[in-house]
Chain A
Amino acid sequence: MLLNQFLLLSAVLFSIGVYGVIARRNGVAILMSIELILNAVNINLVAFAAWRTDIAGQVFALFVIAVAAAEVGVGLAIVLAIYRNRRSVDLDELDLMKG
């Protein structure tokens, strides 16, 4: 198999994730788009690990999965705290820090 096919798939997923982060308003939906981005990174890491027959890429993919799990936990806690205070998870309406 070619290395490029994995890298291109990952580039497409990454761009879709970036689109989601910019275009979505719901906090939970934005966290899902961030997951898409992190998965694109993981496909890259594992593909390079296979290309170089070096295990380091797979180890780093595992670290990324662990950090992503931590990020989702904290992110959803923040979304819940926002919801409790504002009765909404619409990130467009969060303008408390606007000058």
Chain B
Amino acid sequence: MLASTMPLPGTDDPINVAQTIGFGVIAVVMVVSALRVVTTKNVVHAAMWLVLVLAGAAAQYVLLAAEFVAVTQVMVYIGAVVVLFLFGVMLTRARLGSDAELTRKNWYGAAFVGLILVGLLGFSLVDTFQDAKLPEDRQVSLAPDLPADATDAEVEAALEEPNVGSNTAAISDSLFTQYLVPLEVVAVLLTAALVGAIVIARRD
């Protein structure tokens, strides 16, 4: 019988089997697609493989209970950025068939750098976060909703009971209170970047 949780060898904490298998399947798909993005000889195919990587990332966000980030990933990345890439490919008239010139001749130097990087990062990560576990309940608790004139006893009672809401509500709360100025700055940055893109790409 497949239990939904089973003990991890060497520790007493249970680990969620279904989630771990799901993670593994998505991770393999993501890594294979990412390798195809950087090795395929056809730019349009690279964009299509990139879609698979981005969708896999969105699935991982769902596993991590970050549903708002997952939806944003699908809408902004898969919906907009990939379309932009395909426009770029077509407007630069890249050869639509396979193109042997897409990769440098000394690509093995880059492969060496990548392997060294993955080795160093992997070693330091495993060494630092050995068996740090993600909490089973990954919803963020919200600040309790209290009237301004709440008495101390009311505040204490509200803090006692767990006030677990959705992560989306927590994101909106923090975006419009703590991160309001960065949000406005990002809005101005996006506008400036889009105006700049039009100015650069415009025919004189």
Residues of A within 8 A of B (CB): 1-9, 11-20, 22-29, 31-33, 35-36, 39, 42-43, 46-47, 49-51, 53-56, 58-59, 61-63, 65-74, 76-81, 83-84, 89-90, 92
A-B contact pairs, 25 of them (CB 8 A): A3-B133, A4-B126, A5-B27, A9-B27, A9-B31, A16-B38, A16-B114, A20-B37, A28-B43, A32-B37, A42-B57, A43-B57, A51-B132, A53-B140, A53-B141, A55-B170, A55-B174, A58-B171, A59-B174, A59-B175, A66-B186, A66-B189, A73-B194, A74-B197, A83-B93
Bound-complex Cα distance A18 to B99 (A): 21
Q: Indicate if the CB atoms of B167 and A55 lie closer than 8 Å.
A: yes
Q: Indicate if the CB atoms of A13 and B88 lie closer than 8 Å.
A: no
The 4 A-B residue pairs with the shortest CB-CB distance, nearest first, are: A70-B193, A20-B38, A22-B110, A19-B114
Contact of B125 among A11, A43, A81 (CB under 8 A): A11
Q: Indicate if the CB atoms of A80 and B46 lie closer than 8 Å.
A: no
Most chain-B CB neighbours within 10 Å: which of A72, A81, A89? A72
Residues on A with C-beta less than 8 A from B159 are none
Q: Indicate if the CB atoms of A28 and B85 lie closer than 8 Å.
A: yes
Mostly, the B contact residues are helix
Bound-complex Cα distance A20 to B117 (A): 13
Contact of A28 among B77, B94, B133, B197 (CB under 8 A): B94
A97 to chain B, nearest CB (A): 17
Contacts A4-B132, A43-B57 given; indicate if A15 touches B197 (C-beta within 8 A).
Answer: no
Q: Indicate if the CB atoms of A31 and B37 lie closer than 8 Å.
A: no
B146 interfacial contact with A, CB 8 Å: no
Q: Indicate if the CB atoms of A39 and B54 lie closer than 8 Å.
A: yes
